[in-house]
Amino acid sequence: MRLLGSILYDSVYHTTPILLCVLGGIFAYKAGVLNIALEGFMLSASFMSMLVAGLTGSVALGYAAAFASCLVLWLVFSYMGVTRRGNVIIIGLAINMLVPAIAGFVLQIMGTANLTLPWLNVGDMKVNLPLIRDIPVLGNMLSGHPVTTYLAFLMIPLMGVLMYRTRLGVYIRVVGENEDAARSLGLRTDRYKYLAVLIGALFAAFAGVNLSMERMALFTNNMTAGRGFIAIAAIYCGRGSPAGSAMYAIVFGVARALAVNLGLFAGPAASLIDIVPYVVMTLVLTMVSVVKRRNNRLRGFVGG
């Protein structure tokens, strides 16, 4: 029973950063700019929030630094990838390598292996929901998370509205589907790509702060541990739709919670659960591609 309770709680806990990355990343995906730098964005937010909060003693300044660092990376990524038309995958990989390199450099100069905030009580960040927390099992799972977690789940429908019901969302999707058509209508396509990447950067900043400051008040280098790529897998599986991609984010979060909790009993074999997101993604991509080709064939476009 206690194991079940902790798996349920951890599922929400591990879903949060992945979900945030997914909800931000779908816009770049739809705009045709695959942002694999989410991992780097997230890590820089984790690092800068802890660094600045540690130096100034202010949580608010920590948040500000996290967002500032993601905005800088956003400008670098968008300028190189959108304005200069570089290969976005390579730029993304470079950012994913650059951020831990800088973090490692700074940690080395400071002479420590990780950053902590001894004065910050992580328990204070957690919000217990009245009423809900008294429900057996479910209460334990849904209550006692930081505000960011609740926001993340509330964002699922909001991002759906933003993507399908607002002009911004429609234009971003048009730019991704047919850039020439969008340009012929007079849309400034580059501007929408910048905006799409910006949404991802802001959400990744939230995810990064959640990962380091809100959960544990601790930063260790490379602590994002591939979560950005799991988010990419979820985005691909859900084909960029907010609800679908969010569902996969939750599935992958549950898989992570299972891997962590079952590891205590099953030993190293439990870490094999960690490959679930990647295998699922490969299978979904294959299925989508096969179905698409079959439809094309039925309509007479052989080869496609």
Minimal distance, residue 12 CB to other proteins, in Å: 23
Residues in the chain: 304
Contact at 8 Å (CB) between 220 and 113?
Answer: yes
Minimal distance, residue 101 CB to other proteins, in Å: 4
Using the minimum distance from each CB to other proteins, give the nearer residue, 101 or 147: 101
Using the minimum distance from each CB to other proteins, give the nearer residue, 58 or 83: 83
Interface with other proteins (CB under 8 A): 34, 36, 76, 80-81, 84-87, 89-91, 93-95, 97-98, 100-102, 104-105, 108-109, 226, 229, 232-233, 236, 267-269, 271-272, 274-275, 277-279, 281-282, 285-286, 289-290, 293
Minimal distance, residue 298 CB to other proteins, in Å: 16
Minimal distance, residue 275 CB to other proteins, in Å: 4
How far is 209 from 181, CA to CA, in rounded Å? 39
Using the minimum distance from each CB to other proteins, give the nearer residue, 162 or 260: 260
Minimal distance, residue 91 CB to other proteins, in Å: 5
Q: Which amino acid is at 64?
A: A
Using the minimum distance from each CB to other proteins, give the nearer residue, 115 or 156: 115
Using the minimum distance from each CB to other proteins, give the nearer residue, 113 or 158: 113
